[in-house]
Amino acid sequence: MLFSETRANGLVPGVCPCPDDQGGLIFPATNLFLPLMLRDYLLRSGDLILIRELLPKVVAIFGTFEHWFDADGLIAPPENLWNFFDWSCEMTGVSLNGKKSSLLDYLYLIALKAFVELASLAGLEWDIDKYRSRLEGAGVRLEKIFFKPEDNRLADWVEGSVKSGHSSQLAHALALLSGECSETNRKHLEEALGDQNILIPELYLHFFVFQAMRLCGQEAAALDRIRNYWGPIVESGAPTIWEMGVHGRGKAAISGNASLCHGFATAPVDFLQTAILGVEPLKPGFAEFRLAPTPCGLKFAEGRVPTPTGNIHIRWEAHADELVVDLDVPSGALAVCSDGRTFGAGKHQFALARTK
């Protein structure tokens, strides 16, 4: 449905349906989310037919971005586009419009890698080397442009050769997830994920911050953040998740226009499934999935994860040095444990060494 609204330049609006006269709702970042969404969809559904149908439309999006690169290889989106990521900038008086930002450049690298992976899984042939060439030396180049040695943080944007004094947790999360950061600066990027003195994203793009925290072994800190920002929503008795919980809360945010039922704000669902329950697909349709629960101080966790052939049911209880796991694997799926053991279809009970 979303791709049915593709504009002449290949870009799609950030909401669907979207009237043609609402050009302000075409966001560069949202278009780069699409390869990530398709990769997640393929891994969880195994539906290669839809992937093969839609990937040419992703190629068109990358084609438009190719026209936006400046002489330094930075993305310079047209000034008339709203360079929107989430509400954290707008709610704190910051605008990325017309700016060359570290956020967009690192997100582009993440999207590019997802596209190359998708094309390979789908067995489609494009000039993949053309896309891979964008990755060559990208990390060194972007750190040279955006990294500020005086405070060991990434600038959110540059104007000419001048780095902004503004930094955000999101930029550091995206840099880490791109896999294109140097070992020299990696520790600084990891520290920035918890830096309360730089811009904290709203609920929406905590999705990337949680993924980066998992990558860096900061799962316990991520769970604490869920308690801090999503806990008040649960405690309020609200039956749905609010749009705002960091720079405003509930209906009062965005001048009284914030949503009280917002799918964009459900980042903890992914974290609770992949980190706490420890279930994450490795092959399309959960033909293989990783099983590596992270207790983060919890005594137990229980849940189910849907797959094309049925639900994965899992419950674990934490003991002194191990997790006792009850696992039900549906047909056609294979659990690959953190210790290398595998479990096929059926009910299993076993122990895993406790790591965190």
Residue 285: closest CA among 316, 312, 304, 263? 312
- 337-346 long-range contacts, Cβ below 8 Å, gap at least 24? 337/291, 337/292, 338/278, 338/290, 338/291, 338/292, 343/291
Asked whether residue 258 carries a pLDDT value surpassing 70, the answer given is yes
Q: How far is Cα 200 from Cα 204, in angstroms, rounded to an integer?
A: 11
Q: How far is Cα 206 from Cα 210, in angstroms, rounded to an integer?
A: 6
Element (H, E) at 175: helix 169-178
- Report pLDDT digits (tens) over 270-290: 999 999 999 999 999 999 999
Beta bridge partners of 90: none
Mean pLDDT over 70-92 rounds to: 93
Q: How far is Cα 217 from Cα 332, in angstroms, rounded to an integer?
A: 31
- Report pLDDT digits (tens) over 15-56: 888 887 766 789 999 999 999 999 999 999 999 999 999 999
Q: What is the pLDDT of residue 133?
A: 79
Strand duo 310-318 + 322-329: pairing: antiparallel
Query: Cβ(9)–Cβ(64) under 8 Å?
Result: yes
Return the CATH architecture of domain 289-353.
Sandwich (2.60)
Degrees, nearest 5: CA angle 75-79-82 = 90
- Report pLDDT digits (tens) over 304-355: 999 999 999 999 999 989 999 999 999 999 999 989 999 999 999 999 998 7
Residue 104: closest CA among 7, 28, 5? 28
Query: What is the pLDDT of the chain when averaged over all its residues?
Result: 94
The phi and psi torsions of 341 (rounded to 5 degrees) equal -70, 155
Q: How far is Cα 169 from Cα 190, in angstroms, rounded to an integer?
A: 10
- Report pLDDT digits (tens) over 205-230: 999 999 999 999 999 999 999 999 99
Q: Which residues contact 62 (CB under 8 A, 6 or more apart)?
A: 112, 115, 131
Asked whether residue 136 carries a pLDDT value surpassing 90, the answer given is no
Q: What is the CATH number of domain 3-201?
A: 1.50.10.10
- Report pLDDT digits (tens) over 182-194: 999 999 999 999 9
Q: What is the pLDDT of residue 23?
A: 65
The structural domains of the chain, with segments of one domain joined by +, span 3-201, 206-277, 289-353
